[in-house]
């Protein structure tokens, strides 16, 4: 089950996430021409690497992997380019629009909800994930309570990231003096994973 909250971030600086010095361009929307609009987004899948079973009173690293299965669902022509320079700029913009499926500055955190387990690791950075890419396993140290009843328990994995919603280009394509405007969306979504406390 995935619940997703998407908040438009428009004409303000992008919120910096807790990642390894990743900088995201600010949202600046000043150019008049926008040749294309792409439709789509990242699509994140969270899973456990390794077995989900643990003993009571066990301390272990829970390895979480994040995969981006982002897809482009549509493409729309907007302003018609006029002249050779605008045609060249429109081709550049068209290629950049495919960045809509890339998740930037992915940060994962785990909540125990009602599970008899302590989460001892702070949020972890998964970096930038292009469509089809899987993160390295993110280790979260957990401690199963010594009084934990045997059974299956739900943990929540919260992901925050940003993705390029739209892009505009301007300038002189013939001498590569090109300016870029990029509009980003901030995403906060929750995924569920499951662990099992074994019978003893």
Q: Which residue has the higher pLDDT, 50 or 9?
A: 50
Kindly report, residue by residue over 103-157, the tens digit of the pLDDT. Answer: 999 999 999 999 999 999 999 999 999 999 999 999 999 999 999 999 999 999 9
Element (H, E) at 178: strand 177-197
Cα separation, 110 vs 128, whole angstroms: 19
Tell me the three state secondary structure of residue 41. Answer: strand
| Residue-range domains of the chain with CATH | 2-197 (2.60.40.10)
Question: What count of residues does the chain have?
Answer: 200
Whose CA is closest to 63, among 121, 131, 132, 128? 121
What integer pLDDT is reported at residue 13 of this predicted model?
31
- The tens digit of pLDDT for each residue in 156-196 reads 999 999 999 988 888 888 888 888 888 899 999 999 999 99
User: For residues 43 and 198, what is the distance between their CA atoms, to the nearest angstrom?
Assistant: 32
DSSP state letters, 149-177: PSEEEEEEEEEEEEEEEEEEEEEEGGGTE
What is the residue whose two structure tokens read 């890339």? 102
More confident residue, 124 or 34: 124
Q: How far is CA 141 from the centre of its chain?
A: 22
Written as six digits, the tokens of 52 are 């989900």
User: Which residues, 6 or more positions from 183, have their beta carbon under 8 angstroms from its beta carbon?
Assistant: 10, 27, 29, 164, 165, 166, 167
Rounded to the nearest 5 degrees, what angle is found at the Cα of 25, between the Cα atoms of 3 and 22? Answer: 70
Q: Are 186 and 12 in contact (CB under 8 A)?
A: no
CA distance 98 to 112: 36
């Amino acid at each position: 089950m995935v619940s997703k909250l998407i908040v438009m971030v428009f004409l303000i600086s992008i919120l910096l996430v807790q990642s390894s010095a990743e900088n995201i361009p600010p949202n600046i929307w000043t150019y008049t021409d926008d040749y294309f609009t792409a439709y789509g987004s990242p699509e994140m899948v969270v899973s456990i690497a390794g077995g989900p079973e643990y003993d009571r009173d066990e301390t272990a690293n829970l390895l979480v992997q994040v995969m981006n299965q982002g897809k482009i669902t549509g493409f729309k022509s907007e302003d018609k380019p006029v002249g050779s320079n605008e045609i060249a700029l429109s081709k550049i913009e068209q290629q950049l629009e495919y960045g809509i499926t890339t998740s930037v500055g992915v940060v994962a955190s785990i909540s125990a909800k009602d599970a008899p387990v302590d989460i001892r690791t702070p949020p972890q950075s998964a970096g930038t994930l292009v469509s089809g890419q899987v993160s390295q396993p993110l280790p979260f140290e957990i401690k199963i309570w010594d009084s934990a009843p045997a059974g299956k328990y739900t943990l929540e994995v919260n992901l925050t990231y940003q993705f390029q919603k739209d892009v505009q280009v301007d300038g002189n394509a013939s001498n590569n003096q090109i300016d870029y405007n990029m509009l980003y969306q901030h995403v906060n979504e929750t995924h569920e994973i499951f662990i099992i406390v074994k019978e003893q």
